[in-house]
Structure 1
Amino acid sequence: MVDDRGHKRKDVAKFSSFDLVEKYLVWDWATLARSGLASGPLGTDLYKLGYAAGVEVSELDKGNIELRLDGEWAILVVGDATIFSHIMLKSFDDLLEIASQGGL
């Protein structure tokens, strides 16, 4: 994967369950397809809140963060981890609804 600064990255994220992979892919797709979601309800708005309450956060090496919730875990880079800590708490159906409505 190549990020917005043109840097190639091999490990974007790691997940303990298919459920978390689905949430990540819907979130990633929705924020790429609809910039209003990235700058609003599925992006900047969540980032400004900091890490979600109830999600255990551990800093790993190289700017990676491990998130743990109900026995599941995800490892992401710092900025994405902040947002994804909130995404983890949402149901898959809620994410699809937000994506299809454009955050309205």
Structure 2
Amino acid sequence: MGSFAALVSAIRIPLSQGTARIRWTLAAALSLGGGAIWSMHFIGMIGYRVDGLDLRYGLPLTGVSLLIAVAVSALGLTLVASHQRSIGWLALSEPFP
């Protein structure tokens, strides 16, 4: 659901300008970074168990991880929505080995 909502929102980013563009970028970043990527990893970590250890998650650090996921998604969406295509941006988008 988060990925679909991000796709629907992201399609509108390059077609809009000004505050509308910022709103669509934020909507797509929240959907992708929070609703898809972060929530999938967080649910996976909730299910993680280690025998003999009591794992707990602190609310502040968990909130910061959500903000990082949304911010990085917003940055990626902004880069993709801009019509600049250069080797530098492509090099930054490549996964590290």
TM-score (norm 2): 0.28
The structure with the greater share of residues assigned to strand is 1
Give the greater-gyration-radius structure (CA).
2
TM-score (norm 1): 0.27
